[in-house]
DNA sequence: CACTATTTGTTGCGCTTGACCCCAAATCCG
DNA sequence: CGGATTTGGGGTCAAGCGCAACAAATAGTG
């Protein structure tokens, strides 16, 4: 939104945004429900919906056969032809998907690579996928932007990847590269932060305004915050790097790493090692943990849980969230005994702050990052449906 | 603001709020500058200002003799007769002040008590001060509300003091008590969180949207966050309790307290002890620290600084603020060598996150809490100047 | 199968309110 | 003292939402 806030035009845009946002988040809604949710007048909602539909952002469907008295209300749904490209480059593959503003994923490709994907290569892969889809199944779709979920530090102002340790990307202007290759406006975010956004909007954190998300990946621990219902980027966009924190370690014997950095102490690699796996995906790790009754495994799980609990407490004391969502191997770790973790957090955090707190496991599956990436690609359109 | 967002009335209210907010924060402003700052039309600003002045919220003064070409623009200032009562109960005194929406403090009383002030007593003291002022010097003032800065956990929803350890208040409905005694709408907040708000709006954090504030008091360490330019309360309002955090302590010998809680390790009492003072206010402690060259003192200062640095790093990694403001004895501690602290933080925190970071000492003096308390008392009026 | 009650879409009108335009006022500068 | 510049003031315009009256579509009832 430009600086039109406070003007009539601004009101109109905001109202359009509100309506579109509701159907984007909640799915198809009757106009009657939209009037209730927005607080606007029936006639106003009608004209707003008509405008959105004329712009190809929503579609109006026949009323649902609800068994209620009164004239049935047409159902407003996001137009599934409005798409974003979501991209997630990883060490061994680049995943590219077309994500609808209705939440659907009409196309998805995981392109395996036998080398680290370079920035240019990534941009080319995105452009070629876009070309294929545009001339194929998604011929009548409208691509509004690209969103990238990058496993590294991303500067929010210009979408520069400051450092992505596993991709070996350093100061890469990935946003500019992808924009040049595709001609589409592009947004870039840290993968864990986008995971937090996805879980907040569509997953375990739906409707929760103050939330902390922690994700345990193969390479470390990342995360994201939702405060006042909005994702927190910080001054440059680097917020959420829980993995680099140094939590207190109560038992001296619990410390493994010299620096005491969270992601060195609580790590997937250490879990894999103790269960005797060399590699392994998340289900394999979970299965191995469930299968064994070795005390060494139990000790390591306990040790990591204790340290994780302290790290969570620090976040709870400072942010007083109503929800902590754990993903990746942290979910695996916590899921074994969620009650114990909640108990440990309650024991160490301020009593008042832990009262309203719950800890949950991430709800979205492997599409989480794509959904988050699509969300930042849709952000401009959702904030102001009249752009362009 | 009610649910009028999105309607024309809402626009009008928001515009009034914007204008009033600007003159509240920046002091007297010419109408020309207001039009530039709000982006609204000249005529619109003129009518908004006229409405605010008619409601007794602003005053229009003769133009400043600026040496610029063109017709001089009348200066709009907040009406100094619009007052809030700011209250800060402490163990040995209750401070009560009348704070103007223009930032002035036309009346201020520190009422010493020889016992812990009870909630009822506090409410009575406020009511009697209000009565005195209303029939005295501030006869023609308009009191719009009361704000309390309480050294303890305050539930935001209803202004209940969950626990104030030093006052020995526990589950005290102080908001209701003060409202009953004064008849004025009352807001309650944690003292450190209000300090953060005050420093953000008028102190070291002016214009900074992502800020962390830590205050070292006699009793512990509290703080507050500003994210997206707004104070963070969390789900229940308890956010900012840095003192209860457990930061990693790299050197084993540095740990003093069994639990490793920040405010047990980094504490005013330990500093007073090592310099050999029994009691002492902040200047006395600073002077004593400056005067001595004892190695024991240097060791303790170094130890506390190291632990503080780690605690700050944890916040920096997670929140990526552009500014950390330190108050109370933490300011005293840091001021001795601010560069060293910044260096220590930069060494431990993520490099990218510490790039744009500065650490400053709090700028507001002893009125900080009163200013913060007044701010929450003014909040409703500033958000919607048409209330009541 | 009428008839009522209920809910909601539709339509036209009116009101609020900020933008725009033109002119006047006040200042500086040469 | 006159031109340039900036800003205030008042009148008019137009955009957009609320409102009210009416119509339409459903469920329930006897």
* Measured distance CA(B103)–CA(B77) in Å, rounded: 11
How many angstroms separate the CA of B71 from the C1' of C23?
14
Digit-by-digit pLDDT tens for chain A (388 residues) are: 334 556 777 889 999 999 999 999 999 999 999 999 999 999 999 999 999 999 999 999 988 877 788 899 999 999 999 999 999 999 999 999 999 999 999 999 999 999 999 999 999 999 999 999 999 989 999 999 999 999 999 999 999 999 999 999 999 999 999 999 999 999 999 999 999 999 999 999 999 999 999 999 988 999 999 999 999 999 999 999 999 999 998 888 888 887 889 999 999 999 999 999 988 789 999 999 999 999 999 999 999 999 999 999 999 999 999 999 999 999 999 998 899 999 999 999 999 999 999 999 999 989 999 999 999 999 999 999 998 7
A114 contacts: CB under 8 Å, gap ≥ 6? none
Sign of the dihedral through C-alpha B185, A355, A311, A214: negative
Instruction: Supply the pLDDT for residue A296.
Output: 94
| pLDDT at residue B38 tops 60 | yes
Instruction: Give the tens place of pLDDT for each residue, B50-61.
Output: 999 999 999 998
Sign of the dihedral through C-alpha B310, B312, B316, B322: negative
Instruction: Give the tens place of pLDDT for each residue, B354-366.
Output: 999 999 999 998 9
- Best residue in A8, A308, A319, A351 for a mutation probing chain B (most B CBs within 10 Å): A319
Tell me the mean pLDDT in the region B189-193. 97
Domains and CATH numbers, chain B: 8-78 (1.10.10.10), 82-195+367-383 (3.30.420.40), 206-361 (3.30.420.40)
Interchain pair B244, A40: CB under 8 A: no
| Whether A19 CB is under 7 Å from strand C | no
Name the residues in A25-84 having a C-beta closer than 7 Å to nucleic acid strand C: 30-32, 35, 42-43, 45-46, 68-74
Instruction: Give the tens place of pLDDT for each residue, B135-168.
Output: 998 999 999 999 999 999 999 999 999 999 999 9
> Using an 8 Å Cβ cutoff, are A383 and A1 in contact?
yes
| Whether B71 CB is under 7 Å from strand D | yes
Portion of chain B with pLDDT greater than 90, in percent? 83
Tell me the mean pLDDT in the region B63-76. 82
* C-alpha distances in Å from residue A69, one per residue of A34, A40, A64, A73, A75: 18, 22, 13, 11, 16
| pLDDT at residue B3 tops 60 | no
> Using an 8 Å Cβ cutoff, are B85 and B146 in contact?
yes
Instruction: Supply the pLDDT for residue B257.
Output: 80
Instruction: Give the tens place of pLDDT for each residue, A63-106.
Output: 887 778 889 999 999 999 999 999 999 999 999 999 999 999 99
Instruction: Supply the pLDDT for residue B69.
Output: 82
Sign of the dihedral through C-alpha B226, B231, B235, B241: positive
> Using an 8 Å Cβ cutoff, are B94 and B117 in contact?
yes
Q: H or E segment at B108?
A: strand B107-112
Tell me the mean pLDDT in the region B37-51. 91
Nearest to A34 by CA among B13, B6, B2: B6
* Measured distance CA(A39)–CA(A51) in Å, rounded: 18
CA distance A3 to chain B (A): 7
């Amino acid at each position: 939104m430009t600086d039109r806030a406070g003007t009539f035009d601004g009101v109109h845009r905001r109202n359009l945004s509100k309506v579109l946002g509701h159907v984007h988040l909640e799915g198809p809604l009757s106009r009657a429900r939209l009037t209730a949710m927005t607080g606007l007048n029936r006639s106003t909602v009608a004209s707003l919906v008509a405008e959105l539909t004329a712009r190809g952002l929503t579609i109006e469907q026949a009323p649902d056969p609800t068994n209620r008295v009164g004239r049935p209300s047409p159902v407003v749904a996001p137009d599934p032809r409005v798409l974003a490209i979501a991209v997630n480059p990883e060490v061994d593959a680049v995943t590219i998907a077309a994500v609808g503003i209705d939440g659907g994923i009409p196309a998805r490709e995981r392109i395996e690579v036998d080398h680290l994907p370079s920035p240019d290569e990534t941009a080319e892969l995105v452009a070629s996928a876009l070309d294929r889809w545009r001339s194929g199944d998604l011929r009548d779709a409208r691509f509004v932007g690209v969103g990238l979920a990058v496993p590294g530090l991303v500067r929010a102002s210009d979408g520069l990847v400051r450092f992505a340790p596993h991709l070996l990307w350093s100061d890469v202007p990935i946003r500019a590269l992808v924009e040049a290759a595709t001609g589409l406006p592009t947004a870039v975010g840290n993968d864990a932060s986008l995971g937090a956004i996805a879980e907040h909007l569509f997953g375990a954190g739906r409707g929760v305004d103050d939330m902390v998300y922690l994700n345990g990946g193969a390479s470390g621990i990342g995360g994201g915050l939702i405060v006042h219902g909005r994702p927190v980027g910080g001054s440059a966009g680097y917020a959420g790097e829980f993995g680099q924190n140094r939590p207190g370690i109560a038992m001296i014997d619990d410390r493994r790493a010299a620096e005491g950095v969270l992601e060195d102490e609580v790590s997937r690699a250490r879990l894999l090692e103790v269960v005797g796996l060399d590699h392994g995906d998340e289900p394999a790790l979970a299965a191995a943990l469930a299968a064994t009754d070795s005390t060494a495994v139990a000790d390591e799980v306990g040790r990591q849980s204790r340290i994780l609990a302290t790290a969570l407490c620090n976040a709870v004391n400072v942010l007083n969230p109503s929800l902590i969502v754990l993903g990746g191997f942290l979910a695996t770790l916590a899921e074994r005994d969620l009650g114990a973790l909640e108990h440990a957090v309650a024991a160490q955090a301020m009593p008042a702050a832990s009262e309203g707190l719950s800890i949950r496991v991430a709800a979205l599956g492997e599409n989480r990052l794509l959904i988050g990436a699509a969300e930042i690609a849709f952000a401009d359109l959702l904030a102001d449906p009249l752009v362009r």
